[in-house]
Amino acid sequence: MRREVGDRRPLWEQIVESQGLGFHRAVAPGYGGRPYWDESAHYTFSMVEVLDLERAVEDLHRMCLTAVEHVIKHKRYAGFAIPEWCWEPIRRSWKRRDPHLIGRFDLCYDGAGHAKLLEYNADTPTSLVEASVVQWFWLKDVYPDADQWNSIHEALISRWRKLCGPGASAHFAWTATDEVGEDALNVAYLEDTAQSAGLRTTAITVEDIGWDTGREAFVDLDGNPIGSLFKLYPWEWLVTDPFGRSAVERQARVPWMEPLWKMLLSNKALLAVLWDMYPGHPNLLPAYLDGPRELGSYVRKPLLGREGASIRIVTPGQTQDTPGEYGAEGYVYQEFWPLPDFDGWHPVLGAWVVGDESAGVGIRETWGLVTDNTSSFLPHRIDT
């Protein structure tokens, strides 16, 4: 694994805009005007490294599914700060094996040691368009004979066909509170892959979903019942909404994606459960719910935090906090594992799982200790 510097394509802004990435110009303070999509550098992997990462990701995915079974069997919901009334519906969702679509493991990896799991974005992962589409066309333009760890697009189409079948209908929802447009972009892309699989689709914001009391059904703006729904809206928000209980009850008839049982995977308490179940596993970091215990250096992460917000990093002689409003739900304490250093830049690998199989990677890069919503996205290639 190495970082290489190169020239941006002429008219690169228009190119990525034509591929759907409208917020590529988002500039982070202190980054010297660096754009969100930055193709002036890229990462290169060997095929051996990619195969090792694929195995690690699929191992982690299997371990996570086993962890769901463990939490449900031993009723460890309280550590996840999940409302008690949701416990039984989660158990039933898992017992039914309500279908799941996609997830993203965030990994620390330098090409030398084992990849370390930082967290799992299992319910509402984003940066999908960049990972699946934009970096693929960058590769074809700049390195047409090279390959990339990226089968996300094909895997999504195949997954939709397996889950729904041609001719089925589904709604796709995002929240209108998304000011940047990232959520809408990701949902539009997923809708496009579903259409490629033969589904009939309808787009709608979460705020526009209605409840028909007479039919006891959720409906769209045309009054059509909403059956299958993909929502880029986290379950922990949904269950606190006025119609949250109705949404949970609805899952017994037509489960939405991601399924209710993924509340146990999108919560950072998962990190402590995994360490408890697989202590010493080479792809895990020590993590606890009751405090840092023996950890001399650690990261305190809110269970439901997002984009690096409300994090505290504690190392000998130094404490660093990131701004945010998360944490009332509780924290997990995970061993601090420094991100690798490539010319002063620190990458995090976002490894995608579609269904139950590894499908590709996207890379976010930061100059600091925490990857957040200001970190740039860089493409990659496989050096054969």
In the chain (384 residues long), the average pLDDT of successive 10-residue segments reads 97 94 65 83 98 98 98 96 97 98 98 96 96 98 97 98 91 91 94 97 97 94 95 96 95 96 98 98 98 97 91 94 93 97 95 98 90 87 92
Position 360 scores a pLDDT of: 98
**In the chain, what is the straight-line distance between the N-terminal and C-terminal CA atoms, in Å?**
12
List Cα–Cα distances, 255 to 87, 208, 226, 259, 262, in angstroms.
16, 19, 11, 6, 12
pLDDT at 31: 54
So what's the pLDDT on residue 138? 98
Which pLDDT does position 131 carry in this prediction?
98
Cα diameter, the chain = 62
Residue 244 is predicted with a pLDDT of 95
Please, which contacts does 63-70 make with residues 24 or more away whose CB atoms are closer than 8 Å?
Answer: 63/274, 63/277, 63/278, 63/281, 64/120, 64/122, 64/265, 64/270, 64/274, 66/277, 67/264, 67/265, 67/270, 67/273, 67/274, 67/277, 68/94, 68/261, 68/264, 68/265, 69/94, 70/273, 70/277
Of 342, 379, 383, whose CA–CA distance to 364 is shortest?
379
Pairing of strands 331-335, 318-321: unpaired
Amino acid sitting at position 37: W
